[in-house]
């Protein structure tokens, strides 16, 4: 069965600093990988996705992620964080045909210091 690990529960960065959120997955085949963001009291918004091809994918709001098969990782990055980026971030891996289920990590909460 697939699994996703987000090792950092909570990260605090200063506004304008760079950001990297870690995600490691376990999946036997080629994974479909996603990053979602959730603001308080809201649903999850898709930031970016990786299906195949270029291992560096660009998303919305200036985010990017790099798929590294050798490390089973799909880390999310942003060169300069804005205060509005404070939220919870979820990494997910897609599995199998049929119901196309996603397995989510436990999330990383990002706080931004002005």
Partner 1 sequence: ETGVTQTPRHLVMGMTNKKSLKCEQHLGHNAMYWYKQSAKKPLELMFVYNFKEQTENNSVPSRFSPECPNSSHLFLHLHTLQPEDSALYLCASRGSTYEQYFGPGTRLTVT
Binding site for partner 1 (CB under 8 A): 32, 34, 36, 41-46, 49, 51, 90, 94, 98-102, 104-107
Q: For residues 44 and 110, which CB has a smaller minimum distance to partner 1 in the complex?
A: 44
**Structural element, H or E, at residue 14:** strand 10-14
Cα–Cα nearest to 89, from 68, 72, 75, 70: 75
Q: 3-state secondary structure string, 29-62?
A: CCCEEEEEEECCCCCEEEEEEECCCCCEEECHHH
Least distance (Å) between residue 112 CB and partner 1: 22
Least distance (Å) between residue 4 CB and partner 1: 8
Q: For residues 3 and 80, which CB has a smaller minimum distance to partner 1 in the complex?
A: 3
Least distance (Å) between residue 27 CB and partner 1: 13
């Amino acid at each position: 069965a697939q699994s996703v690990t987000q090792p950092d529960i909570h990260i605090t960065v200063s506004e304008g600093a760079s950001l990297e959120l870690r995600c490691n997955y376990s999946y036997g085949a080629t994974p479909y990988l996603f990053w979602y963001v959730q603001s308080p009291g809201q649903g999850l918004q898709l930031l970016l996705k990786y299906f195949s091809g270029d291992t560096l994918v660009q998303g919305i709001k200036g985010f990017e992620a790099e798929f590294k098969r050798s490390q089973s990782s799909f880390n999310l990055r942003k060169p300069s964080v804005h205060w509005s980026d404070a939220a919870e971030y979820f990494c997910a891996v897609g599995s199998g045909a049929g119901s196309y289920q996603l397995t989510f990590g436990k999330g990383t909460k990002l706080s931004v210091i002005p």
